Chains A and B, each alone.
Chain A
């Protein structure tokens, strides 16, 4: 039964081609001079899968799912089959590779090159290479012995050699062929072949006959020939059974012999008589596929096969079909949704490279190849070409980027083949956060913390289901989707839907404002002509829609059009929360699989402003954005396709910090988590686990899982790393509290306190750990992160563990910290003061004070002009000076920080015993009675608060004298004032007389600290009011000690009543003014009585201040006057 010849079909552009079957025979794989490998399910396959492997492919071989190709960049590459994903480079030559073959079990390949070399490479480990040297001209073709002992090669030097693979020696060499100088001039490409299975015979096409040689003896028992053969044979190939031998000639004749009987079984003539350059038997049945030198593919069926096994082929190809479907339905299409769409058109040049010289029908195959090589894609061998420079450039670039390119190839297969540099990535399409792909018939349009919107789009029904997690917000809703809405968003106020424009309908934005109190709960807005909505989001009271014309349109929730502004690039996604709008757009074109995204963060509230001005959005390499949104607390977050969740770190200049990698939680490689929400308190990443896909199906209804956050810190296996991670995670995830506070939102104080407590505990643990490890420097670094309170504990800890140097360092640190804290507070206070003064009419001083001088200078001014009261400006200075005096009077003045400073200074000698002393009832009583708010003394513990409060209630305004010798930075200032005022001296003397008193000072540190932390004490409240003033006025003071003083002084300068008032205010005991006045007076009297003798002197000073005046500066001036009188 003669073989049936199917009509040839176009396979590749003109030029050399190669063909092989895959292992199961279900598809035909061809490669050609257009650099593509095509996978044909059968000859009638109209849409073969194409894999671009290079500029030109000279030879391909396929085994075990590995597709090896010899390409014109002188390499032998591996691709996976059937996916076509680049899998690396096996070997390189200095010029073209002419033939590449697998051995029988597919573990090795052999490649023969025009640089005279033959190499055998292990497929799994390309470092295992063997080079066979001996040919004196380009190698034409190769064949592996099925037993893996020998390798046969044919070369342009006219010889056919058999090599021993193990020692790379030449076993035998026959001078059979015509000599020529290059492959292109060779008459035949001489594709020789070993008999499969046994490897007994080696078939070599020589001229018009096939020479067969015995293995081992290398004798030539017979030749196969036929009268029909009129031209040289180009190629021979054995049937898989080893019984038949097929050969193709350069004029298009295919002949098949039965080797045993030496009968010629088939003679088939090519339709057009082109040279046969690829010939391959089906691994199972009698099919031969062949290709010619013009790029056509043909198939012979029922070759030497009386029974005909057509059916089996069909079946297997169907199986293959199914497999492909499966594959397509899975991840690939998934990624495709985002990436491989019409979003970007990348010009395809691959088809354009055709040799247009002439129709060389009558040219030999080899010359055809030459022409192509001489074309613009010139190779090394044509180094004289003018194009070589260009090619060389590309080559260099390619070699550098090879590793990077290799993975990006599948994305960019349609790009021009002669550019191998970084490849642009297709831009990802716009998407709604937490939605599943559009093409699904049942999909989630959105799944957020409010509810779920599902879309059903099948034959019977096109509908949208809205369901609320909390049914108290709104009941579930069912809408018919006649307009084919594709994007949606949901908030507790409204449902927002949008559709793209169709031929006759404009793109629409549809809002169902269910929380509206009037009866019409819906509105629809049409976009202008040819403007499509691409992304939408809902905020509190507003709606945003980004369109294809790069516009962002804002609406109120009721449908009033508001601002319209331009986006810097095509939108990717948007999210809204409260007043914040978070936009991600394409900043430009990414390369090598990366996306190039930018981010804008706007606040649309009362004060509209832009927080992030189009900064680049960091993404994991080769990933794209999959989710954007806000945490429930309002911090922007996003997730990329590698599962990395990042959060805006407002505490570090609006940088992005990765807080979780969902891929670490996945069990399987293809499992993913589909993020639906993020909560910072408690720390929860709400997401839906998806087995084997990126997104969940609508049925069965998926359940939300909760993942914990984990910052990518080093060495989290160790205790240190763990605690560091915990600490910084806590810091990061409580940034939102600061943000809320700053923007005047309500938040729970307890949360913040808890966070601070947690952080301080962690720091203490870390400190203890470092202490144990004798890392004292590290201890100090850690203490630097602590609050004042914790530092004191740290000092205690250090001294207990007998690390006195550490304790000393820590106490120095405590001083600095206190100074710093005081500085900020003082600045705030000062600012307040001066603003008041300005308001009171000292407008001429505004300029001076608005440009703050160094502290020292101000003081000097104060001193110099102290006596000149004429000028208003001087008044201002005097005001400042008065403060200083006050502070000198109470020289050790226990205002918050300075007392801490002093105490810790003292503490250097023995900072801890003092604490014990303070417990003595007499002293504590003393302190309770005599201190002002700022120096209620108690232990470090928080328990002391009630006591402090009590003390604050009754305390007298008079400041108890404390340590007279401020050290370090304070010395100059303090001594300066002490010299000037007798009061200071007095107090000092008194203190010396009363050695016990100073001991009670140490505890002062803690109450003050606790006051700082507890904003509801009087001083704190006052501070809060005055903060901004002080800050602005003193912003550039370098000497912290001065600033402390300044801060203390400001508060001290208030009259006793006022301080009292602040205290009361703090306790919420704000009483009416009249009543309070009386009360104050009484309190003041009381305080007078309770005062010690030593305090009496100061009391005199404070008396003038007590004269109640609504105008604070006036009051202060009065007191200053009193000072002068003394």
Chain B
């Protein structure tokens, strides 16, 4: 799975918009959306929100957690704890990216939020690398990682498993290799 796919999944997340048009309920395979009343907040999937925003058909309301104070708390907590702490949204990274790229004018203190999310992300990725490192070093058989989001798993998951495979191959080849190599040559 690549990042684009993860982002695609994240686009199903509901966000609140304030439309500036009027439309009855729309019936889609994924469920019904609307009705859209001008000036009244309504929950729509992210993909629709971004689309409407691009066409200037709505104003976005930032999710509740997308607030400088709350994110500072989360970041500090993340830095303090050894393990991964719960994140405000399972798609926090994707949501932040999309919302800030397309609707930064509707989100107060967008730059600070971007920085905070980046900090949070970096902290978590560092933790992930450290834990992968110790996992490999200590040749553990299994590890438990809670509170990881899909995007985070996706960044190192494929690489890590492949690396482990390689290492496994190398290791298993290590003992019999003496004879095997001798056979080859």
Binding site for B on A (CB under 8 A): 449, 451, 468-472, 686, 700-701, 703-706
How long is the Cα–Cα vector from A376 to B16 in the complex, in angstroms? 68
Residues A468 and B20 in contact, CB atoms below 8 Å apart:
yes
17 extra interface residue pairs, beta carbon distance < 8 Å, beyond A451-B39, A470-B20, A470-B21: A449-B39, A469-B38, A470-B22, A470-B38, A470-B39, A471-B21, A471-B38, A472-B22, A686-B40, A700-B108, A701-B59, A703-B16, A703-B18, A704-B18, A704-B39, A704-B40, A705-B41
Point out the residues of chain A lying under 8 angstroms from B57, CB to CB. 471
**Chain A: CB-nearest residue to B108:** A700
Task: Name the contact of B20 in the complex, choosing from A469, A703, A705, A706 (C-beta under 8 A).
Answer: A469
**Chain B: CB-nearest residue to A447:** B39
Nearest chain B CB to A283's CB is how many angstroms away?
38
Task: Kindly supply a per-residue 1/0 record for chain B positions 144-178, scoring 1 wherever the CB is within 8 Å of any chain A CB and 0 otherwise.
Answer: 00000000000000000000000000000000000
**Chain A: CB-nearest residue to B20:** A471
Q: Does B61 contact A (CB under 8 A)?
A: yes
**Chain B: CB-nearest residue to A470:** B38
**Chain B: CB-nearest residue to A452:** B39
> Which 10 A/B pairs are nearest by Cβ-Cβ distance?
A469-B39, A469-B38, A470-B38, A471-B20, A700-B108, A703-B61, A470-B22, A703-B41, A704-B40, A470-B20
How long is the Cα–Cα vector from A469 to B58 in the complex, in angstroms? 9
Point out the residues of chain A lying under 8 angstroms from B39, CB to CB. 449, 451, 469-470, 704
**Chain A: CB-nearest residue to B62:** A700
Point out the residues of chain A lying under 8 angstroms from B40, CB to CB. 686, 704, 706
How long is the Cα–Cα vector from A703 to B61 in the complex, in angstroms? 8
Nearest chain A CB to B153's CB is how many angstroms away?
34
How long is the Cα–Cα vector from A705 to B61 in the complex, in angstroms? 12
How long is the Cα–Cα vector from A700 to B21 in the complex, in angstroms? 22
Task: Kindly supply a per-residue 1/0 record for chain B positions 46-85, scoring 1 wherever the CB is within 8 Å of any chain A CB and 0 otherwise.
Answer: 0000000000010101000000000000000000000000
Nearest chain B CB to A579's CB is how many angstroms away?
23
* Secondary structure dominating the interface of A: loop
Nearest chain B CB to A673's CB is how many angstroms away?
15
**Chain A: CB-nearest residue to B57:** A471
- For window 26-48 of chain B, which residues contact chain A by CB distance below 8 Å? 37-41
How long is the Cα–Cα vector from A468 to B39 in the complex, in angstroms? 8
Point out the residues of chain A lying under 8 angstroms from B41, CB to CB. 703-705
* Secondary structure dominating the interface of B: loop
**Chain A: CB-nearest residue to B56:** A471
Point out the residues of chain B lying under 8 angstroms from A472, CB to CB. 21-22
In the complex, 28 of the A-B residue pairs with CB atoms within 8 angstroms, ordered by the A residue number, are A449-B39, A451-B39, A468-B20, A468-B38, A469-B20, A469-B37, A469-B38, A469-B39, A470-B20, A470-B21, A470-B22, A470-B38, A471-B21, A471-B38, A471-B57, A472-B21, A686-B40, A700-B108, A701-B59, A703-B18, A703-B41, A703-B61, A704-B18, A704-B39, A704-B40, A704-B41, A705-B41, A706-B40
How long is the Cα–Cα vector from A706 to B37 in the complex, in angstroms? 13
Point out the residues of chain B lying under 8 angstroms from A703, CB to CB. 16, 18, 41, 61
Point out the residues of chain B lying under 8 angstroms from A449, CB to CB. 39
Nearest chain B CB to A1069's CB is how many angstroms away?
31
How long is the Cα–Cα vector from A701 to B108 in the complex, in angstroms? 9
Nearest chain A CB to B118's CB is how many angstroms away?
22
Give the most central of B18, B38, B39, B40: most A CB within 10 Å: B39
Point out the residues of chain A lying under 8 angstroms from B18, CB to CB. 703-704
How long is the Cα–Cα vector from A700 to B18 in the complex, in angstroms? 14
Point out the residues of chain A lying under 8 angstroms from B37, CB to CB. 469
Nearest chain B CB to A446's CB is how many angstroms away?
13
Give the most central of A471, A705, A706: most B CB within 10 Å: A471
Point out the residues of chain A lying under 8 angstroms from B22, CB to CB. 470, 472
How long is the Cα–Cα vector from A471 to B38 in the complex, in angstroms? 8
**Chain A: CB-nearest residue to B109:** A700
Nearest chain A CB to B83's CB is how many angstroms away?
33
Nearest chain B CB to A787's CB is how many angstroms away?
30
Point out the residues of chain B lying under 8 angstroms from A469, CB to CB. 20, 37-39
Give the most central of A449, A469, A686, A701: most B CB within 10 Å: A469
Point out the residues of chain B lying under 8 angstroms from A468, CB to CB. 20, 38
How long is the Cα–Cα vector from A701 to B107 in the complex, in angstroms? 10
Point out the residues of chain B lying under 8 angstroms from A686, CB to CB. 40
Point out the residues of chain A lying under 8 angstroms from B108, CB to CB. 700
Point out the residues of chain A lying under 8 angstroms from B61, CB to CB. 703
Nearest chain A CB to B85's CB is how many angstroms away?
27
**Chain B: CB-nearest residue to A473:** B38
How long is the Cα–Cα vector from A470 to B23 in the complex, in angstroms? 11
How long is the Cα–Cα vector from A527 to B83 in the complex, in angstroms? 72
Nearest chain B CB to A706's CB is how many angstroms away?
7
**Chain A: CB-nearest residue to B59:** A701
Nearest chain B CB to A451's CB is how many angstroms away?
8
Point out the residues of chain B lying under 8 angstroms from A700, CB to CB. 108
Nearest chain A CB to B76's CB is how many angstroms away?
24
**Chain B: CB-nearest residue to A677:** B39
**Chain A: CB-nearest residue to B107:** A700
**Chain B: CB-nearest residue to A706:** B40
How long is the Cα–Cα vector from A701 to B39 in the complex, in angstroms? 12
Nearest chain A CB to B53's CB is how many angstroms away?
13
Nearest chain A CB to B40's CB is how many angstroms away?
6
Nearest chain B CB to A924's CB is how many angstroms away?
39
Point out the residues of chain B lying under 8 angstroms from A471, CB to CB. 20-21, 38, 57
Nearest chain B CB to A646's CB is how many angstroms away?
23
**Chain B: CB-nearest residue to A472:** B21
Nearest chain A CB to B18's CB is how many angstroms away?
7
How long is the Cα–Cα vector from A686 to B18 in the complex, in angstroms? 13
How long is the Cα–Cα vector from A470 to B21 in the complex, in angstroms? 5
**Chain B: CB-nearest residue to A699:** B108
Nearest chain A CB to B115's CB is how many angstroms away?
19
How long is the Cα–Cα vector from A468 to B41 in the complex, in angstroms? 15
How long is the Cα–Cα vector from A705 to B38 in the complex, in angstroms? 13
How long is the Cα–Cα vector from A471 to B18 in the complex, in angstroms? 12
Point out the residues of chain A lying under 8 angstroms from B20, CB to CB. 468-471
How long is the Cα–Cα vector from A468 to B19 in the complex, in angstroms? 11
Point out the residues of chain B lying under 8 angstroms from A701, CB to CB. 59
Point out the residues of chain A lying under 8 angstroms from B59, CB to CB. 701
Nearest chain A CB to B23's CB is how many angstroms away?
10
How long is the Cα–Cα vector from A449 to B38 in the complex, in angstroms? 8
How long is the Cα–Cα vector from A471 to B40 in the complex, in angstroms? 13
Nearest chain B CB to A704's CB is how many angstroms away?
6
How long is the Cα–Cα vector from A703 to B16 in the complex, in angstroms? 10
Point out the residues of chain B lying under 8 angstroms from A451, CB to CB. 39
Nearest chain A CB to B32's CB is how many angstroms away?
15
**Chain A: CB-nearest residue to B35:** A682
Task: Kindly supply a per-residue 1/0 record for chain B positions 1-20, scoring 1 wherever the CB is within 8 Å of any chain A CB and 0 otherwise.
Answer: 00000000000000010101
How long is the Cα–Cα vector from A700 to B106 in the complex, in angstroms? 9
- For window 102-126 of chain B, which residues contact chain A by CB distance below 8 Å? 108
How long is the Cα–Cα vector from A470 to B18 in the complex, in angstroms? 10
**Chain B: CB-nearest residue to A448:** B39
How long is the Cα–Cα vector from A469 to B20 in the complex, in angstroms? 5
Point out the residues of chain B lying under 8 angstroms from A470, CB to CB. 20-22, 38-39
Nearest chain B CB to A691's CB is how many angstroms away?
13
How long is the Cα–Cα vector from A232 to B37 in the complex, in angstroms? 82
How long is the Cα–Cα vector from A470 to B58 in the complex, in angstroms? 10
How long is the Cα–Cα vector from A703 to B37 in the complex, in angstroms? 13
How long is the Cα–Cα vector from A706 to B40 in the complex, in angstroms? 9
How long is the Cα–Cα vector from A449 to B40 in the complex, in angstroms? 9
How long is the Cα–Cα vector from A706 to B41 in the complex, in angstroms? 9
Give the most central of A451, A468, A472, A703: most B CB within 10 Å: A703
Nearest chain B CB to A792's CB is how many angstroms away?
35
How long is the Cα–Cα vector from A704 to B22 in the complex, in angstroms? 16
How long is the Cα–Cα vector from A51 to B84 in the complex, in angstroms? 58
How long is the Cα–Cα vector from A471 to B36 in the complex, in angstroms? 13
How long is the Cα–Cα vector from A470 to B61 in the complex, in angstroms? 17
How long is the Cα–Cα vector from A661 to B101 in the complex, in angstroms? 41
How long is the Cα–Cα vector from A686 to B41 in the complex, in angstroms? 10
Nearest chain A CB to B112's CB is how many angstroms away?
14
Nearest chain A CB to B108's CB is how many angstroms away?
5
How long is the Cα–Cα vector from A820 to B4 in the complex, in angstroms? 70
**Chain B: CB-nearest residue to A451:** B39
